[in-house]
Amino acid sequence: MDFSLTDEQEDFVDAIRRFCDHECGTRDQRERLTDSYRQHHNAEIYGQMAELDWLGVTIPEEYGGSGGTMLDACLFMEETSRGLAPIGGYATTLIVAAATGRFGTEEQKKEILGGIARGSVEAIAMTEPEAGSDVGALTTSAERVNGGFVLNGQKVFCSNAHIADHVLVVCRTTKSESKHEGLTMIWVPRDTDGMEVVPIDTMGGRETNHLFFTDVEAPADAVLGEVDQGWTQLMAGLNVERLILAATMLGIAERVFDDLIVYVKERKQFGRPIGSFQSLQHRIAEMATEIESARLMTRWVATLIDEDPDRMLPREASMVKLHVTEITRRAALEGMQMMGGYGYASEYDMERLVRVSLASTIYGGTSEIQRNIIAKTFGL
Ligand SMILES: Cc1cc2nc3c(=O)[nH]c(=O)nc-3n(C[C@H](O)[C@H](O)[C@H](O)COP(=O)(O)OP(=O)(O)OC[C@H]3O[C@@H](n4cnc5c(N)ncnc54)[C@H](O)[C@@H]3O)c2cc1C
Q: Is 369 in the pocket of ligand 1 (CB under 6 A)?
A: yes
Q: Is 365 in the pocket of ligand 1 (CB under 6 A)?
A: yes
Sites in the chain below the pLDDT cut of 70: none
Give, using CA atoms, the residue closest to atom 17 of ligand 1.
363
Q: Is 370 in the pocket of ligand 1 (CB under 6 A)?
A: no
The residue type of 200 is I
Q: Is 132 in the pocket of ligand 1 (CB under 6 A)?
A: yes
CA distance 122 to 112: 9
**Sign of the C-alpha dihedral computed for residues 361, 362, 365 and 367 taken in this order:** positive
CA distance 212 to 307: 40
Ligand 1 atom closest to the Cα of residue 372 is: 42
Identify whether the C-beta of residue 180 lies closer than 8 Å to the C-beta of residue 249: no
CA distance 132 to 138: 8
* CA 373 to ligand 1 center in whole angstroms: 14
Ligand 1 atom closest to the Cα of residue 131 is: 26
Instruction: Please give the helix or strand (H or E) that residue 196 lies within, else none.
Output: strand 195-199
Closest CA to 100 of 186, 24, 172: 186
- List 206's β-bridge partners, or say none: 39
pLDDT at 239: 87
Q: Which residue stretches of the chain are H helix?
A: 7-24, 27-33, 43-51, 70-82, 90-103, 106-108, 114-118, 230-236, 238-266, 278-307, 314-338, 341-344, 350-360, 367-376
The residue type of 155 is K
Question: Per residue in 158-182, pLDDT tens?
Answer: 999 999 999 999 999 999 899 999 9
Q: For Cα atoms 353, 358, 361, give the angle at the middle one, nearest 5 degrees.
A: 130
Q: In this structure, what are the phi and psi dihedrals at residue 272, rounded to the nearest 5 degrees? A: -150, 155
Q: Is 372 in the pocket of ligand 1 (CB under 6 A)?
A: yes
> What is each CA distance from 109 to 17, 48, 243, 265, 275, in whole angstroms?
30, 22, 22, 50, 52
Q: Is 366 in the pocket of ligand 1 (CB under 6 A)?
A: yes
pLDDT at 1: 78
Give, using CA atoms, the residue closest to atom 40 of ligand 1.
369
DSSP state of 133: S
* CA 194 to ligand 1 center in whole angstroms: 26
Closest CA to 91 of 160, 157, 143: 160
Enumerate domains of the chain plus CATH numbers: 7-120 (1.10.540.10), 124-231 (2.40.110.10), 237-376 (1.20.140.10)
Question: Can you give the pTM of this predicted structure?
Answer: 0.97
* CA 365 to ligand 1 center in whole angstroms: 6
Q: Is 101 exposed, middle or buried (0-12, 13-18, 19+ CB in 10 A)?
A: buried
Question: Per residue in 345-355, pLDDT tens?
Answer: 999 999 999 99
* Residues taking part in catalysis: 241
pLDDT at 2: 82
Mutate which of 363, 371, 373 for ligand 1 pocket (most atoms within 8 A of beta carbon) = 363
Mutate which of 121, 133, 245 for ligand 1 pocket (most atoms within 8 A of beta carbon) = 133
Question: Per residue in 131-152, pLDDT tens?
Answer: 999 999 999 999 999 999 999 9
* CA 191 to ligand 1 center in whole angstroms: 27
Mutate which of 157, 208, 252, 360 for ligand 1 pocket (most atoms within 8 A of beta carbon) = 157
pLDDT at 272: 98
Ligand 1 atom closest to the Cα of residue 366 is: 47
